[in-house]
Copies of this chain bind each other. A is one copy, B any other.
């Protein structure tokens, strides 16, 4: 691990364990230089990452202060899969694969996936249960050329873990939209809507480090279980 990453990890641990509490000042840059035997630039880089990710806030002339000790809130602002977000929460979570098909890239899908028309797409529909209730319908589309070997067994576990650990691909960033839409036939079939007329749809286009898009996903949530949190900056 790089030196700045080590400093970042140490400070992050101090914040998440609340050894450094919300509102307290971090050690100054010169203090950190001494204790880590690092240059100023290295120390500054670690602190900048804390700030970017919403854990700390630098204030000119005063210091750097702890913002939020809550790593879950941070993760929800980044790219996370369903398993990652709920694993910590101790929820009773089940996943059921209700469709696993392959189809060519054509028609309306072309508006969401930037790849060669006609490329093979792997479509997976999964229903997520929390406490027995069917609350999320995930519809994933993967570019089969980039994500080979995907099968139903993997889909029942975590696809993101497969992509990053088994295939060793680096996920870079996602373009995400959140909107409310009237329920579809699919929603009525697979979700426990309890009469709700709308669902919340989180759409993701996800890209690899080299800029190629490998995924387009719609995550359709029932209204009563939807929650999203992040930190926005000017």
Which residue numbers of A lie inside 8 Å of B, CB to CB? Answer: 23, 41, 52, 54, 57, 59-60, 62, 65, 67-68, 73, 77-79, 170-180, 195-198, 200, 207, 209-211, 221, 223-224, 226-234
| Given A57-B209, A200-B200, A210-B62, A232 and B79 contact (CB-CB distance below 8 Å) | yes
Complex Cα distance A173/B54, Å? 8
Contact indicator B174/A232 (Cβ below 8 Å): yes
Contact indicator B223/A198 (Cβ below 8 Å): yes
Give this chain's copy count.
2
**Chain B residues, CB < 8 A from A231:** 173-176
Complex Cα distance A65/B173, Å? 13
Most buried by B among A62, A180, A209: A180
- Chain B nearest CB, measured from A169 CB (Å): 11
Complex Cα distance A57/B209, Å? 7
Contact indicator A67/B227 (Cβ below 8 Å): no
Smallest Cβ-Cβ distance to A227: which chain B residue: B179
- Chain B nearest CB, measured from A25 CB (Å): 10
Complex Cα distance A207/B67, Å? 10
| Given A52-B52, A178-B178, A196-B197, A173 and B211 contact (CB-CB distance below 8 Å) | no
Complex Cα distance A67/B178, Å? 19
Contact indicator B198/A229 (Cβ below 8 Å): no
Smallest Cβ-Cβ distance to A205: which chain B residue: B231
